[in-house]
Structure 1
Amino acid sequence: MKPVVVLVPQPQPVERIFRPETLARLRERFTVVEPEAGDAAALDAALPDAWAVVGQPDLPTERLDRAPGLRAVINVEGNFYPNVDYPTAFTRSIRVLGCGPAYAQAVAEHALGLALDLARGISREDRAFREGRERYLGEGNADAVLLRHADVGLVGYGNLGRALRPLLAPFAPTLRVYDPWLPDAVLREADATPAGLDEVLSRSRFVFVLATVTGDSEHLLGARELDLLPEGARLVLVSRAAVTDYDALAERLAAGRFLAASDVWPTEPMAADSPFRSLEGVVLSAHRAGGIPAAFLEIGDMVVDDLELMAGGLAPVRLQQAAPELVARYRNRPAG
């Protein structure tokens, strides 16, 4: 008999994350059961036969107990949320997997675009041009800088940092990285200099904030840390808003100490009266760095590839596995 895959991807629509041919592969190799969104009774009825759950429904102990044959839970929204009884899953050798790597390339490219915008004032000068305030030649470049050979700092070197590193390589930066979860040797092998947070902030013209949010990293960049940035620095925020104190950030942007671009916000949608909407020194992005069609479709490909590997008695290789040592530290929450 085919292994049973319970497909409950909401809020992701099935057609967003599965190409037609990928969904056909899934249905050919597995028995796919699709409870209606929000139908708890239908989900509970499907669990006794489930070999894998694809989605992020609540899976406390009592639900996992209903699924004696469960071998995998795959989150297809993007993070490891506290919706699963992780200790029970680990005790029973249920793999808990996430699709975070699917977004890494898209976020990295967007982050690079934001950095180039900050370096050259691209969107700022576009707004000025449309309003009849354009400045020609050198007049509009008084604060322009080069990314090439710049001092660049990365705060965090997980999926996003690893995707961004090769995009920065052609610019030949001096690269410093702060990531307390990695040994220095890993960073040196990536041709980066391991450094403390204060050094990364104080010695970088460009800083990319790529860290996940944990109990230790909430407001990792507070007022003191933001004050370490050099005058005229460029700060790019593309991971999780909780890593940065946005009230302190707004104050420093208003004072013109440095420029910033952010794709993530403490409250989404952003309030209509948020001070960020009227600040000139910030590029605004509405949490759209990773959510592009190519990234969404990569999720389905990764899911089916790894399910087929596991059904064949092999380990998954494309999705990210929840680590027992780390998963309890995450403070992720669904976007929006």
Structure 2
Amino acid sequence: MPESNKPLVVSTPDPRTLDLIFTPEALQHLRERYEIVETEPDSIAALPEDQLEAARYIVGQPPLSKETLDRMKSLRCIFNVETNLLNNMPYEVLFERGIHVVTTGAVFAEPVAELGLALALALARGIIDADLDFRHGMEQWGGEGNKNARLISGSEIGIIGFGDLGKALNRLLSGFRAKVRVYDPWLPPSVLLEHGVEPVDLHTVLSNSDFVFVVASVTSENQGFLDAEAFAKMRKGAAFILLSRAGVVDFEALMKAVHDGHIRAATDVYPEEPLPRDHPVRKLHGFLHSAHRAGALDLAFKKMGDMVLEDMDLIDRGLPPMRGKRAERETVSRMRSKPVDRN
């Protein structure tokens, strides 16, 4: 039997931990208000029957079968702190029963957007190469070091995808007086216009941009859609910044476009993570790297816990969750992003 009359929470936040996503004060609050049952993602079905029946919340994104859900008669919400909506549970059953699935991925929007802007600035002004040259006594002073430099200010910028990350990036770019165009087939033009960006097709984003930021999730419809043909449409010398998931890109084609000198690129994500030591992209000139670290700030992780607690409080009071982003019936089954296995 559950140990108390407190609502029961099944905790399986892999690869996160409760200590990672909650401040000590927030974790104390969680434990005071709820009974916590900690388990592994694949072990939920083996929990005692009374715990399954009493569980009100799940913190994590564990695989769940319809049979297990049928035993969880009190379940109200699954808090996905892994942040990818994985195809590992029968969402149609959850929707039919009115069980919410919410993701806390919005906490990463600002940190990732800031690093994306930093990568764009580094590409635009050759900051990394200039620093390396200086360390080796090969620096070029003044204008000699700016032969290929350009400004973000007043430039033409394309954004592919306009979820939380795209919106955060657009806010950062607002001070650069740039022309921002957006391609997002899941949003009506009016939503984009309300954010001060121009809704356009993919061809326009690629061919009319000095900087292209890719912040789109991987779906069943867009895997590898940024291919050799797409890169050929880009302006010579344009910068391509990949911030969401590598699955939307033909990575070999991207490498070739950089190798041939047609574009420059920067990425925070890769087809394989960690990337093999001998992967050729590591030595590719004109290609900047970040090891999937753009969003992994302690500040962002702790915001996850705050969001979970606030939404639990709302649901406890008979209200819908409002801090996490709710999975949508029409799109959740289309998500194809790989799960993360490290923080």
1:164 aligns with 2:165: no
The SS at the match of 2:235 is coil
8 Å contact kept, 1:55–1:75: yes
CA deviations on 1:188-241 (whole Å, 9 max, x unpaired) are 111111100000010000100010111111112111111111011011000010
> 2:30 corresponds to which residue?
26
Give distance in 2, aligned partners of 1:38 and 1:328: 21
1:82 aligns with 2:87: yes
> 1:232 corresponds to which residue?
237
Give distance in 1, aligned partners of 2:265 and 2:48: 47
The SS at the match of 1:32 is strand
Shift, 1:131, TM fit: 2.2
> 2:63 corresponds to which residue?
58
> 1:9 corresponds to which residue?
13
Stretch moving more, 21-30 or 102-111: 21-30
Q: TM-score, normalised by structure 1?
A: 0.97
CA deviations on 1:134-188 (whole Å, 9 max, x unpaired) are 1111111111110011100000001110111110000011010000001100111
> 2:142 corresponds to which residue?
137
8 Å contact kept, 2:109–2:295: yes
Q: TM-score, normalised by structure 2?
A: 0.95
CA deviations on 1:268-288 (whole Å, 9 max, x unpaired) are 111222111111101011111
The SS at the match of 1:301 is helix
Give distance in 2, aligned partners of 1:273 and 1:33: 43
| Correspondence 1:60-139 to 2 at 5 A | 60-139=65-144
> 1:250 corresponds to which residue?
255
> 1:195 corresponds to which residue?
200
Q: Which amino acid aligns with 1:175?
A: V
Q: Which amino acid aligns with 2:28?
A: A
Q: Which amino acid aligns with 1:244?
A: V
Give distance in 2, aligned partners of 1:158 and 1:107: 13
Stretch moving more, 20-29 or 228-237: 20-29
- Would you say how many aligned residue pairs link Structure 1 and Structure 2? 336
8 Å contact kept, 1:44–1:63: no
The SS at the match of 2:122 is helix
CA deviations on 1:53-73 (whole Å, 9 max, x unpaired) are 111221111111110110101
The SS at the match of 1:227 is helix
> 1:293 corresponds to which residue?
298
8 Å contact kept, 2:41–2:62: no
Q: Which amino acid aligns with 1:94?
A: I
> 2:228 corresponds to which residue?
223
Q: Which amino acid aligns with 1:60?
A: S
Shift, 1:31, TM fit: 2.0
> 1:47 corresponds to which residue?
52
1:151 aligns with 2:161: no
8 Å contact kept, 1:117–1:123: yes
Give distance in 2, aligned partners of 1:95 and 1:268: 31
Shift, 1:28, TM fit: 2.3
Give distance in 2, aligned partners of 1:279 and 1:136: 24
Give distance in 2, aligned partners of 1:23 and 1:137: 53
1:174 aligns with 2:162: no
Shift, 1:39, TM fit: 4.3
**Aligned equivalent of 1:328, options 323, 329, 333:** 333
Q: Which amino acid aligns with 1:331?
A: R
Give distance in 1, aligned partners of 2:91 and 2:40: 25
CA deviations on 1:13-72 (whole Å, 9 max, x unpaired) are 221111011112212222222236764565454322100111122111111111011010
Fraction of identical pairs, as percent: 45
8 Å contact kept, 2:192–2:198: yes
Shift, 1:258, TM fit: 1.1
8 Å contact kept, 2:41–2:61: no
